[in-house]
Homo-oligomer: A and B are copies of this chain.
Amino acid sequence: MGRDNPIRVLVVDDHPIVRDGLRSTIELETDMGVVGEAADGAQAIELFETLCPDVTLLDLQMPHVDGLQALTGIRKVKPDARVVVFTSYPGDVRVTQALTLGATSYLLKSASREEIIDAIRSASFGHQVIASEISDELAAHQGMAVLTVRELGILRLVKEGMSNRLIAESLFISDETVKTHMKSILVKLGASDRTHAVTIAQRRGFIDS
């Protein structure tokens, strides 16, 4: 089993040093090469269109257009694009989102050179690679309730220290409604209070930390 041509890789990360590291690691292999680098999601989609790489290495945490948006954009251009997500986020929610959006693999920034190379090579064949820490976390949270858009919006305001009444006013709804949503959030996350809910939501990747 082999490939005729070198695997053409597009590297997407907002940190120049990380791009350098990926480039130098990839260029050491004989069967792959970096054909482009993007520093944000918009640039990633643009470069994907012009370069049409075999595999895209994509960070999720980026300014302006983030990785999930980039992934959506890339998949719209080429629905069977091979995209390896490479990020520091361990939260199960983001992983699920990325995989649902069609990510081929999911690696952590702490991955070794070999793991990264292997994931790129596997992705070029369409094989999936999920870091073990990731699949453990996915398994641990599988079947758990998902927060609704409304609940997420409310939780973000809670995180900024807003009371139920202030949240109600800013969303133009009754404070009783906010309380209902809060109860639902606490139950879904298994949190003991609103602070705990924010902490858990951050860990699981429901909201930014």
Please list the residues of chain A having a beta carbon within 8 angstroms of any beta carbon in chain B: 14-25, 109-113, 116, 158-163, 191-199, 202, 209
Contacts and interface: CB of A to CB of B under 8 A. Distances in A.
9 contacts: A15-B110, A16-B21, A16-B113, A17-B22, A17-B109, A18-B21, A158-B195, A161-B195, A161-B199
B19 A161 contact: no
Copies of this chain = 2
A164 to B, nearest CB: 11
A198 B20 CA distance: 35
Contact of A192 (B161, B192, B195): B161
B198 A17 contact: no
Contacts of A18: 15, 17-18, 21, 109
B198 A209 contact: no
A70 to B, nearest CB: 17
A26 to B, nearest CB: 10
For A14, A21, A111, the residue with the greatest tally of chain B CB atoms inside 10 Å of its CB is A21
A189 B160 CA distance: 13
B15 A109 contact: yes
Contacts of A199: 159-161, 198
Nearest to A19: B21
A202 B195 contact: no
A196 B22 contact: no
For A20, A25, A163, the residue with the greatest tally of chain B CB atoms inside 10 Å of its CB is A20
A175 B138 CA distance: 38
Nearest to A27: B24
Contacts of A160: 196, 199
A159 B24 contact: no
B159 A195 contact: yes
B20 A113 contact: yes
A20 B25 contact: yes
A111 B16 CA distance: 7
A159 to B, nearest CB: 5
Nearest to A112: B16
Given A159-B199, A161-B199, A17 B193 contact: no
